Amino acid sequence: MDREPTILESFQQQGMSRRSFLKFCAAAASLLALPAARAAELAEKLGAMPRPTVIYLSFQECTGCLESLTRSFSPTIEHLIFDTISLAYNDTLQAAAGEAAEAAREEAMRKAWGKYVLVVDGSIPAPLDGAYCVIGGKSALASVQEVAKGAAAVIAVGTCAAFGGLPMAAPNPTGAVAVQDLIKDKPLINISGCPPIPEIITGTIVYFLTFGVPELDEHRRPKVFYGNTIHDRCYRRPFYDKGLFAKTFDDAGARNGWCLYELGCKGPTTYNSCATMKWNGGTSFPIESGHGCLGCSEPEFWDRGDFYKPLSAGLWHGSIGEDLGIAAVAGAVIGGSAALVARHRQNKTRTETETRKPEGK
């Protein structure tokens, strides 16, 4: 049997030079904030390894996460799929359908057993197995368990897969659960967001292929992307610290870029890279577009009350809401005190996660 071409050879077979491959690796290294030595290691390892097989399963989801993935700018989706990975199964992107599609998945699993990466999109209605989600004659639960058996690792893409998402919202009529509630014997990485930032999806896949499971936070999210709150990097933060808040979405303060905290922005308690990586190739992110953060990358964001009430309502992250309510006496005091509360929680989370042995090590 002929050996599989390496990723570098796949680039070259597409008519691209080694220089193009190194540029791709440099973009990936920059995205992951790797030091120079690690960037060189990434290029060396990616270039020498065969193209890995990725199987992408979709369950209770809206296709928004896959739409996000196809809009990745760096590494680009075409390089990721055609040159870096072999996307063996995805029922939305693939040309095959029906029995041919299922046969392709089974053949890919057989050839790469124990080596392929399983990407799961959407929650699984496990308690009501087969009643709400059936694909190719198999329930969602049976499908994910079958494919996970031969996977080297599992990546849960989107808040629905990572934490249950909107399908899990009370009263949870389908009995939706997260992937991590079902898969306990494989390395698992959560990439939360509704949808996640596309470069976080592609960057995490590239990192895993090169170095293995990255350092994760308490919710199994890559800390390189989820290590800071949106509030920490928000361009409206200086107005927050000065106690300057928009009162409506169209008042003078809103038009002048004042903080959206009083309009319900959940940035102080939401860990994600929206404020730095942004969307559509770095064009913008929701707060820059004039709308407060909904906290969509956090567990149970869908059941934590009104999106347009401030955190001082006490609905988010337990005691932090109460602390913010106490801090919210007036103007600059809100900014200064609430910032200290958010920073204390962040430092506490980092201390707890850093004392644990990183997963996958």
Least confident of 163-172, 238-247, 335-344: 335-344
Q: Minimal CA–CA distance to 180: which of 193, 172, 191?
A: 191
Q: How far apart, in whole angstroms, are the C-alpha atoms of residue 235 and residue 287?
A: 9
Given a cut of 70, whether residue 253 has pLDDT beyond it is yes
Predicted confidence (pLDDT) per residue in 260-302, tens digit:
999 999 999 999 999 999 988 889 999 999 999 999 999 999 9
Please tell me the predicted confidence (pLDDT) of residue 61.
Answer: 95
Q: Which residue matches tokens 């999806």? A: 201
Given a cut of 90, whether residue 13 has pLDDT beyond it is no
Collapsed DSSP state (helix, strand, coil) of residue 343: helix
The answer to whether residues 288 and 235 touch, using CB atoms and an 8 Å cutoff, is yes
Q: How far apart, in whole angstroms, are the C-alpha atoms of residue 339 and residue 136?
A: 50
Given a cut of 60, whether residue 316 has pLDDT beyond it is no
Please tell me the predicted confidence (pLDDT) of residue 335.
Answer: 47
Cα of 99 vs its chain's centroid, Å: 31
Given a cut of 50, whether residue 332 has pLDDT beyond it is no
What order of strands is seen across the sheet that includes strand 116-121?
Answer: 86-90, 53-58, 116-121, 151-157, 188-191
Given a cut of 80, whether residue 312 has pLDDT beyond it is no
Please tell me the predicted confidence (pLDDT) of residue 1.
Answer: 43
Q: How many CB atoms lie within 10 A of CB 360?
A: 15
Predicted confidence (pLDDT) per residue in 42-70, tens digit:
989 888 888 889 999 999 999 999 998 88
Given a cut of 60, whether residue 80 has pLDDT beyond it is yes
Q: How confident is the model at residue 348 (pLDDT cuts 50, 70, 90)?
A: low
Q: Model's pTM, two decimal places?
A: 0.83
Q: How confident is the model at residue 314 (pLDDT cuts 50, 70, 90)?
A: very low
Please tell me the predicted confidence (pLDDT) of residue 221.
Answer: 98
Mean per-residue pLDDT over the chain, rounded: 85
DSSP codes of every residue in 122-162:
SBB-GGGTTTS-EETTEEHHHHHHHHHHTEEEEEEESHHHH
265 to 29, 286, 292, 324, 327: CA distances (angstroms): 31, 10, 4, 13, 16
Predicted confidence (pLDDT) per residue in 154-176, tens digit:
999 999 999 999 999 999 999 99
